[in-house]
Amino acid sequence: MAKNPKTKPLIASPDELLRTIFDYVGRIADERDIDQLLILLADMGRDLISADRCTVWLLNRKTKELWSKVAHGMDRIIIPVTAGIAGCVAMTGDSLIINDPYSDDRFDKDVDKKTGYHTRNILSLPINDGEGKIIGVFQAINKMPEPEKFSEQDLEHLLLAATYTGKALDAAILQEEIEATQREIIFTLAETGEMRSKETGYHVKRVAEFSRLFAVKYGMNEEEAELVKLSAPMHDIGKIAIPDSILLKPGKLTPEEWEIMQSHASLGYEMLKHSDRRLLKSAAIIANEHHEKWNGEGYPNGKKGEDIHIYGRITAMSDVFDALGNERVYKPAWELDRIVKLFKEEKGHQFDPKLVKVFLEGLDDFVKIKETYKDEPPVSER
């Protein structure tokens, strides 16, 4: 919920309106995250009509709820579509100017009681998509300065913001749906590959969460850490092309078989490298480089040190930690002390020294993820 940091003139001139709109348009166009987009749109609406607070609600038709992001650092807030003035607007499609909310039965007075805030007036109107369907509600509270009231002119000005908001949200929602589809495809393909090699259970999920934790502790921002998390599950996608006779062999592989097994890294890269999508490009890097070693003795290209992409170095440690800590067809699970000992020994050899330091310093957090996504024991052990 955007709050007005300053008092503006009661009636904005056309030039002032244009300046306000253009001030926000660039920032809104560059924003990909829907949560932060809602905050920017609310800020724009607040500044256009000199309101104390403004909220952009999105309508979830499946759950029959309205939700919004009202401030940085806070969770989303969710209300039933049947609740309050915003719910009424979402249900009816009517714009409302209410300058005496305490006399209106649709107003939820309990919100003010809980927060200590006093609502003097409300302006609320629907947000429509390109097809004219209601996708949300723009709501402003308390015209500034006190004791001014919202007017039809304010409604017209907020309609400008609502019209632009509908288009911006249309594009953002479509982008989010595309990215959600990518994530679903990636996890489905990754799990398919792991099932072939008997890496069942939560292996894919754990590697994703370990990789995100490594990225955050390494110093990446949240957006890049999330990218690593979403890309890491595809590290072994190339195993789809490895014959079962080699992939599922319980004993030691022959040199010829081992050469074929190693090809899964390059095969995975070839599968993914042609996409222009950032997520799949990152997955291609990870597939190709998660078996490279810090000392240059890895495969497929014998890269060394920081020539190995950080995404590959992170996924390598995540994958090894999970593989050692869980039972496989060819070995029992290792105890934590034994894994820690190996990582210390391989610091600067197999693994990036800085990432080993990150792992050791954050060991409790990595173990917590491991315990949260623990595989169920085989039926015979129950």
Positions marked catalytic = 239
Q: Is the peptide bond before 145 cis (omega within 30 degrees of 0)?
A: yes
d(CA 177, CA 24): 24
d(CA 138, CA 293): 53
Q: What is the DSSP letter of 375?
A: P
Helix axes 152-196, 34-49, angle to 10 degrees: 180
| 3-state SS string for 294-328 | CCCCCCCCCCCHHHCCHHHHHHHHHHHHHHHHCCE
d(CA 253, CA 255): 6
d(CA 54, CA 57): 10
Say if residues 236 and 264 touch (Cβ distance below 8 Å): yes
d(CA 303, CA 317): 16
